């Protein structure tokens, strides 16, 4: 039987690096694509296509040349950088997605497409818990592009018969790759400031609760939704998935359990108003019921993994 070929666009980013490694380690055939090469040594020998996703011909041709069966489109402008460079963000997020959807729908070989949406589709009027199809009037360029993207995916599903699947990721935290300019980046960056010399300066206020997720669960969600029978994908838009929710003060207190000398100060900047418009947590009962979603990594586990990755060993509280 011919093997599946996974073409990952945005493969050198925070999520793409983890996706690519997980698929490669699972024995899948993977083709990486980005405007910059992968940094992780274990990905450097895999096929790599330097490709701008805004170039429609390049997208169609490169995916076809590799006999692509599954597309994972992860290249995007994120929330914070998107507010600084709105035209660039809109162009990359919309043109890139439409190029991928068109080329995939035209292809006779491509069986499935994965494209991530975000908690940014929810707006300030939503309230603390975002329901699956709750109030969605986003107020950032990034959120508007994700909301429109969800509707484009639904359109291609309905009118072009394309099997495109999607989840709304919360803020993602992982060991392998730095974040790419989002509003939840503090929860990754902080682990590079465990030992000072000055206190870590957090760009959100200490009580800003946001939904977050460890990369193991983010990759798990992609694997689960992509392997679910098509008849289980019942929601016409992206699925909410909840990992864990915390504020900076709670995360930093957990870090101090392992690094007693760790200190932080709070200096909210323009990202505070983006965060204020996002929900504290997501109701993900539809994903649980339809395709069996569950998250595994809690805050204690997450903090330990991040510190271990920085230190390769961890001083636990009762070990002095
Ligand atoms: N990281 C998060 O917390 C988070 C949360 C919710 C949703 N998401 C979504 O997950 C996806 C991946 O996010 P990420 O955090 O890995 O982002 P990232 O910024 O780390 O990576 C994006 C990658 O896209 C590449 N890229 C930029 N412009 C390109 C172009 N014109 N053509 C091809 N590649 C280009 C970049 O070089 C980069 O490697 C995005 O769709 C994002 O919206 C991420």
Question: Is residue 203 located within the same domain as residue 124?
Answer: no
Of 112, 138, 169, the last residue of a domain is 169
Ligand 1 center–CA 246 separation, angstroms: 23
Of 142, 169, 196, the last residue of a domain is 169
Asked if residue 223 belongs to a domain, the reply is no
Asked if residue 271 belongs to a domain, the reply is yes
Indicate which atom in ligand 1 lies nearest the CA of residue 173.
3
To test the ligand 1 pocket, which listed residue (12, 14, 178) has its Cβ within 8 A of the most ligand atoms? 14
The verdict on the CB of residue 36 being under 6 Å from ligand 1 is: yes
pLDDT exceeds cutoff 80 at 312: no
Question: Is residue 150 located within the same domain as residue 183?
Answer: no
Q: What is the extent of the structural domain holding 292?
A: 172-211+242-319
Ligand 1 center–CA 206 separation, angstroms: 26
* Structure confidence at residue 1 (pLDDT): 59
CATH of the domain at 289: 3.40.50.720
| Mean pLDDT confidence for 158-168 | 98
Question: Is residue 181 located within the same domain as residue 115?
Answer: no
Check residues 133 and 125 and name the one with the higher pLDDT: 133
* Structure confidence at residue 116 (pLDDT): 98
The 10s digit of each residue's pLDDT in 249-295 is 999 999 999 999 999 999 999 999 999 999 999 999 999 999 999 99
Question: Is residue 145 located within the same domain as residue 205?
Answer: no
The verdict on the CB of residue 54 being under 6 Å from ligand 1 is: yes
Question: Is residue 183 located within the same domain as residue 289?
Answer: yes
Q: Tell me which long-range contacts 33-41 makes (C-beta under 8 A, separation of at least 24).
A: 33/7, 33/8, 33/9, 33/62, 34/9, 34/10, 34/75, 35/75, 36/12, 37/12, 38/11, 38/12, 39/12, 39/177, 40/176, 40/177
Ligand 1 center–CA 78 separation, angstroms: 7
The verdict on the CB of residue 75 being under 6 Å from ligand 1 is: yes
Ligand 1 center–CA 76 separation, angstroms: 4
Asked if residue 257 belongs to a domain, the reply is yes
Asked if residue 49 belongs to a domain, the reply is yes
Question: Is residue 65 located within the same domain as residue 85?
Answer: yes
Question: Is residue 183 located within the same domain as residue 292?
Answer: yes
The total domain count for the chain is 2
Q: If pLDDT is split at 50, 70 and 90, which confidence band does 320 have? A: very low
Question: Is residue 273 located within the same domain as residue 190?
Answer: yes
Question: Is residue 78 located within the same domain as residue 103?
Answer: yes
Question: Is residue 43 located within the same domain as residue 156?
Answer: yes
């Amino acid at each position: 039987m011919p093997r599946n070929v996974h073409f990952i666009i945005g493969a050198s980013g925070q999520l793409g690096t983890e996706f690519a490694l997980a698929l490669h380690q699972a024995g899948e055939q993977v083709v990486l694509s980005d405007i910059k090469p992968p940094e992780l040594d274990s990905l450097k020998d895999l096929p790599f296509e330097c490709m701008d996703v805004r170039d429609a011909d390049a997208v169609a041709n490169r995916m076809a040349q590799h006999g692509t069966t599954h597309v994972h489109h992860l290249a995007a402008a994120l929330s914070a950088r998107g507010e600084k460079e709105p035209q660039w963000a809109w162009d990359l997020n919309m043109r890139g997605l439409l190029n991928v959807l068109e080329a995939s729908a035209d292809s006779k070989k491509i069986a499935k497409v994965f494209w991530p949406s975000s908690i940014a589709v929810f707006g300030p009027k939503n309230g603390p818990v975002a329901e699956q199809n709750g109030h969605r009037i986003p107020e950032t360029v990034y959120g508007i592009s994700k909301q429109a993207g969800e509707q484009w995916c639904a359109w291609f599903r309905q009118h072009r018969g394309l099997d495109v699947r999607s989840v709304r990721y919360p803020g993602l935290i992982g060991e392998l790759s730095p974040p790419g300019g989002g509003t939840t980046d503090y929860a990754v960056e902080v682990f590079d400031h465990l030992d000072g010399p000055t206190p870590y300066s957090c760009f959100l206020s200490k009580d800003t609760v946001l939904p977050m997720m460890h990369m193991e669960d983010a990759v798990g969600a992609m694997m689960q939704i992509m392997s679910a029978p098509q008849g289980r994908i019942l929601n016409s838009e992206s699925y909410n998935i909840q990992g864990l929710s915390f504020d900076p003060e709670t995360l930093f207190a957990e870090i101090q359990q392992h690094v007693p000398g760790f200190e932080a100060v709070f200096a909210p900047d323009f990202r505070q108003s983006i965060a204020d418009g996002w929900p504290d947590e997501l109701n993900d009962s539809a994903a649980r019921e339809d395709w069996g979603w569950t998250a595994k990594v809690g805050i204690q586990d997450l903090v330990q993994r991040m510190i271990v990755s920085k230190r390769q060993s961890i001083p636990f509280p009762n070990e002095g």
